[in-house]
Amino acid sequence: MSFTRRALLGLLATLGLLLLLGAAIAREPARQARAQRAWQGAAIARGAASFREACTECHGVHGEGLVGPALNADDLLMPEMGQALPPRPRDRGWRGDLPAYLAGVIANGRAGSKMPGWSQRAGGPLTEQQIQDLVAFILNWRDAERPAVRRPASLHQRSAGLGYYLFHGPLGCAECHAFDDAAGVIGPHLSGIIARKGRDQVRADIIDPNAALAPGYASHIMPETFGYALSENQLRSLLDYLERPADAALQVAPITQSEKELALWGKMVADSAGCFGCHTVDGTPSDGPTFLGLYGQTRTLDDGGAVVADDDYLHESIVDPSAQRVAGYPDIMDQDYSYRLSEEDIRAIIAYLKTLR
Amino acid sequence: MSRRRWTDWIQNLCAGLPWPECKRMLGGQPPSRPNPRQRPHQESFWLHIKPVYYHQAVTRLRYTWRLGLLSIYFFVVELLTGLALLAWYTPTPEQAYASMGVILARAPMGDLLHALHYLAAVGLIVSVLLHLIRTFATASYKAPRRFTWLTGVALLLLTLGLAFTGYLLLWDQLAYWAVTIGMALVRETPLLGDWLFGLLAGGNQVGGATLLRFYILHILLLPLAAGILIAVHDYKVAHHGISLPSSLEPVAHSRSQTAIPPNQRRYYLLDVALDEAFFLAWISLALLILALFFIHPRLQSPANPAHTPPEIAAPWYFLWLQGLLKLGNVTLFGIVLPGLLILLLFLLPYLDRNPSRRARDRMLALSLGTLTVAALLLLSLLGLPRFHAQLPPAQAVAQHFLPEEGPGPLDALSWQALPAGDFCTDGQQPDPATPFGQVWNEFARALAQTPGLTHARGCILIQPVQPDLKQLRLYILAEQDGAPAALLQTDYRFRDEEGER
């Protein structure tokens, strides 16, 4: 081949090389935007899987909150007008940005709460990358539509209504089971289940799903965490919901935030949690201090100090009864209420105590 | 100071040759006397390693296939792209995968750099292997070129070492677990196993220390060693001359340059050099087209030492080793046999005492060589995942339709083609005309026809869980070898660009 032809061919390749590179540089911004979205999307998808494995038990399958606080919530994700940070991290004194706040809480847990540290440095199972993926997933709720939490309207429907909420919401029962207006296809159909098996058996099945399997179903598909995630009260509501006749209309309406409603609810919780075994409401002394007139009183502690029985003190006394014990009473109260009651339950009990003046 | 004329610039461009001489050269005329074409090779640092001229028989593409040149070219591409990638890469378990995200999504031309680095690595391994096979086939390893062969085999090992160490740096599941398996093999080395493992891994398992050590090996020690060896190798090639076809050189001998008759000479400057440059321009173009339009190396999910993936595939150049491991004892088949193979490769020029380079005199060597290549190919085939221990049938079906890593049939569908709903073999069915309906039919057929599965019931459940995020669940309940088995696999799919259009 003559030199000219070789040179022409070679220059042609060089020209092609330069043209292609130029074209690649020209479309680079669009390429980067696409790649960033794909990378972020992959992180969110991985985060969703980790969330399902590690977080739903306490925060609910859609982040509604259960034992732990709601994550799919405006006060965690949406800054108010003129603020850099949403209220929740701000109220806790955080000054960094929201992703760092979320990553920090996931990694290290929150002292004084049931949230453990999930990072490997804190003795947990998650790698740094998995924590970042979880943050990406949680932040993706920012754009989600958050329907008003639907709770039952009146007291006599409250329990079954809460059951409805749990079933369709944070527990994710409806993802697998058919019942009422849920049409899950993986687990057994639940209509008439209480009539057939009795409350006790269904309760046992919820807590330990693998012990007595319905014929035609396999073990280790249903989560085994409900015994931990549910307070006794919530479990009862769930059973109430499952027990109600299919034709009974369930009135579900947005929750009323009134103290009166909350107090009524708190009385029910206190009853089911067994508070009245040791605490009276009529001023009679018992194993524990009476509830009558308790709220707002100044209490003398067994170490000689004094404290006003406000919201914070009562909350502490429920979840950690030994911390500041009133003088004259033995240290016998159960230490596990933080596990048996949800934050919402505790708030309701305190609202109830306020009414006993 | 004399005024510079345009011919001076040409002279500079022609590595110091005067313009009239360049014209003679390009016109194919013999050098003028005294021969000025030697000078650049004596004066230039880079050129002195190159011969002034070649025998025209070895400059033909069909003889050497320019595989040595190609190997050096790919090595240089690796150096350049690798140096650029260093600017964004952090070798810690916390940051490594995230920095891959920076490279792929935020660094300017980062994905191109990464794709080129990957492609040139594949090219390097291929060209080095073919170079070895070519050298063996033409018997170019015989004395006096024995030492050149030795450095070449060492360069092959360095290439594989570079590939293996580079593999881990991605810090995804594939990298982590493939290297974990490779390191388990290192541990099986007789006597030195634990020490070697500790030296390379820096701990009891593959972790942060391993990543750092592999990083140092990958970006510094191995390239440095390879660079030095390439210089030695190249010098030896220039020193002894490229061996001629066996018809012209039936018994190997070193060739001083003057031994080439004037009418057989092809000068390196500018003739062969331009040829090589144009050749490499075409290779570069091909590489760029592949990197831009065809090859996009995908990362798996980030390395998770707590979770072993169901399928771990070795990279293709180590498949033969994975195949070998399936034959039996790890130490014997994983260490001793490959070690012997490498030793034989090193010693080949010293073991093969046959002086002739003619194919008809080398029937034994050629058959053994062919046999070895065939055996390695066969072992690689055996190393393919399809010959691994098989997953239980239900899991295999689930793994096919909703794989833990990599794209499955559902990933081929657009985001919008995934309808929300619960689809079950005994319940609601999707419209068979839709793309999802077709995948669904494959799924239903797999459940019905997979041997070992009876009374299988399967569901695919699709549900939006967040803005732009759909949850895909796959449920199988079946009798598997007589016992009931069930599995529920969950995956998530984010809306990609294609879905938005």
Which pLDDT tens digit goes with each residue over B471-491? 999 999 888 877 888 889 999
Tens-digit pLDDT profile for residues B202-212? 999 999 999 99
| CB A290, CB A280: distance < 8 Å | yes
Chain A and chain B share a number of CB contacts under 8 A equal to 141
Residue B466 to residue A141, Cβ atoms within 8 A: yes
Q: Which two tokens stand for residue A38?
A: 């794909």
Tens-digit pLDDT profile for residues B151-181? 999 999 999 999 999 999 999 999 999 999 9
ipTM here? 0.89
Preceding amide of B347 cis, omega within 30: no
How far apart, in whole angstroms, are the C-alpha atoms of residue B98 and residue B85?
14
In this prediction, residue A148 carries a pLDDT of: 54
In this prediction, residue B122 carries a pLDDT of: 97
How far apart, in whole angstroms, are the C-alpha atoms of residue A174 and residue A183?
7
How far apart, in whole angstroms, are the C-alpha atoms of residue A66 and residue A56?
9
pLDDT band at B15; cut points 50, 70, 90: confident
Tens-digit pLDDT profile for residues B202-242? 999 999 999 999 999 999 999 999 999 999 999 999 889 89
| CB B21, CB B37: distance < 8 Å | yes
Whether pLDDT at A137 is above 70 = yes
How far apart, in whole angstroms, are the C-alpha atoms of residue B275 and residue B28?
14
pLDDT band at B2; cut points 50, 70, 90: low
Asked if A214 reaches chain B (Cβ–Cβ under 8 Å), the answer is no
H-helix or E-strand containing B456?
strand B453-466
How far apart, in whole angstroms, are the C-alpha atoms of residue A253 and residue A141?
23
Whether pLDDT at A147 is above 70 = no
Tens-digit pLDDT profile for residues A188-213? 899 889 999 999 999 999 999 988 88
Q: Which residue of B has its CA nearest to A29?
A: B108
Residue B424 to residue A185, Cβ atoms within 8 A: yes
Rg (CA), chain A: 28
Name the A residues in 246-305 with CB < 8 Å from any B CB.
Answer: none
> Which CATH fold would you assign to the domain A257-355?
Cytochrome Bc1 Complex; Chain D, domain 2 (1.10.760)
Preceding amide of B34 cis, omega within 30: yes
Residue A44 to residue B469, Cβ atoms within 8 A: yes
Whether pLDDT at B139 is above 60 = yes
User: Per this entry, what is the length of chain A?
Assistant: 357
Asked if B76 reaches chain A (Cβ–Cβ under 8 Å), the answer is no
State how far the alpha carbon of A150 is from the alpha carbons of A85, A158, A169, B446, in Å.
Answer: 27, 11, 10, 42
Q: Average pLDDT in the A127-140 region?
A: 95
pLDDT band at A254; cut points 50, 70, 90: very low
* Closest by CA position to A44, among listed A143, A141, A137: A137
In this prediction, residue B233 carries a pLDDT of: 96
In this prediction, residue A277 carries a pLDDT of: 83
Q: Average pLDDT in the A239-268 region?
A: 68
Name the B residues in 477-496 with CB < 8 Å from any A CB.
Answer: 477, 484-488, 490-496
B5-9, B133-137, B237-241, range with greatest mean pLDDT: B133-137
How far apart, in whole angstroms, are the C-alpha atoms of residue B220 and residue B362?
41
Indicate the Cα dihedral angle A223, A229, A232, A234, nearest 10°. -90
pLDDT band at A246; cut points 50, 70, 90: low
Percentage of chain B modeled with pLDDT above 70: 98
Asked if B108 reaches chain A (Cβ–Cβ under 8 Å), the answer is yes
Contact list in A for residue B486 (CB cut-off 8 A) is: 217-221
In this prediction, residue B310 carries a pLDDT of: 83
> Which CATH fold would you assign to the domain A32-143?
Cytochrome Bc1 Complex; Chain D, domain 2 (1.10.760)
Whether pLDDT at A352 is above 50 = yes
Residue in B422, B487, B490 nearest the CB of A49: B490
Higher pLDDT, B370 or B480: B370
Question: What residues contact A191, with CB distance under 8 A and at least 6 apart?
Answer: A178, A179, A180, A246
In this prediction, residue A214 carries a pLDDT of: 84
Residue A144 to residue B497, Cβ atoms within 8 A: no
How far apart, in whole angstroms, are the C-alpha atoms of residue A326 and residue A297?
12
Tens-digit pLDDT profile for residues A220-240? 889 988 888 887 778 888 898
Task: Suggest the residue from A2, A3, A19, A222 to mutate for an interface test with chain B (most B CBs closer than 10 A).
Answer: A3
Contact list in B for residue A40 (CB cut-off 8 A) is: 494
Higher pLDDT, B264 or B216: B216
Asked if A41 reaches chain B (Cβ–Cβ under 8 Å), the answer is yes
Percentage of chain B modeled with pLDDT above 90: 63
Q: Which residue(s) pair with B458 in the sheet? A: B476
H-helix or E-strand containing B477?
strand B469-480
Task: Name the average pLDDT for chain A.
Answer: 85
* Closest by CA position to A173, among listed A259, A106, A110, A241: A241
How far apart, in whole angstroms, are the C-alpha atoms of residue A3 and residue A9?
10
pLDDT band at B257; cut points 50, 70, 90: low
pLDDT band at A109; cut points 50, 70, 90: very high
Tens-digit pLDDT profile for residues B20-49? 888 887 777 888 888 888 888 888 888 888
Amino acid at A320: D
Whether pLDDT at B295 is above 80 = yes
Asked if A15 reaches chain B (Cβ–Cβ under 8 Å), the answer is no
Whether pLDDT at A153 is above 60 = no
Domain coordinates in residue numbering, chain B = 59-386, 394-500
CA A296 to chain centre: 30
In this prediction, residue A340 carries a pLDDT of: 65
Output the DSSP codes for B57-102. GGSSHHHHTTHHHHHHHHHHHHHHHHHHHHTT---STTTHHHHHHH
Which 3 state secondary structure label does DSSP give B478? strand
Higher pLDDT, B285 or A275: B285
Return the DSSP state at A69: P
Contact list in A for residue B112 (CB cut-off 8 A) is: 24
CA A325 to chain centre: 30
- Please provide the CATH number assigned to the domain covering B59-386: 1.20.810.10
pLDDT band at A158; cut points 50, 70, 90: low
How far apart, in whole angstroms, are the C-alpha atoms of residue B462 and residue B278?
54
Indicate yes or no: pTM above 0.90. no
Return the DSSP state at B326: T
Higher pLDDT, B8 or B127: B127
Whether pLDDT at B61 is above 90 = no
How far apart, in whole angstroms, are the C-alpha atoms of residue B157 and residue B132?
12
At the fourth CATH level, which superfamily is domain A150-253? Cytochrome c-like domain (1.10.760.10)
Output the DSSP codes for B273-302. HHHHHHHHHHHHHHHHHIIIII--PPP-SB
**Phi and psi for B391 in degrees, rounded to 5?**
-70, 155
In this prediction, residue B452 carries a pLDDT of: 85
In this prediction, residue A278 carries a pLDDT of: 87
- Domain span(s) for CATH 1.10.760.10 in chain A: 32-143, 150-253, 257-355
Contact list in B for residue A216 (CB cut-off 8 A) is: 477
Residue A130 to residue B495, Cβ atoms within 8 A: no
Q: Cβ atoms within 10 A of the Cβ of B208, count? A: 14
Tens-digit pLDDT profile for residues A289-306? 999 989 988 888 888 888
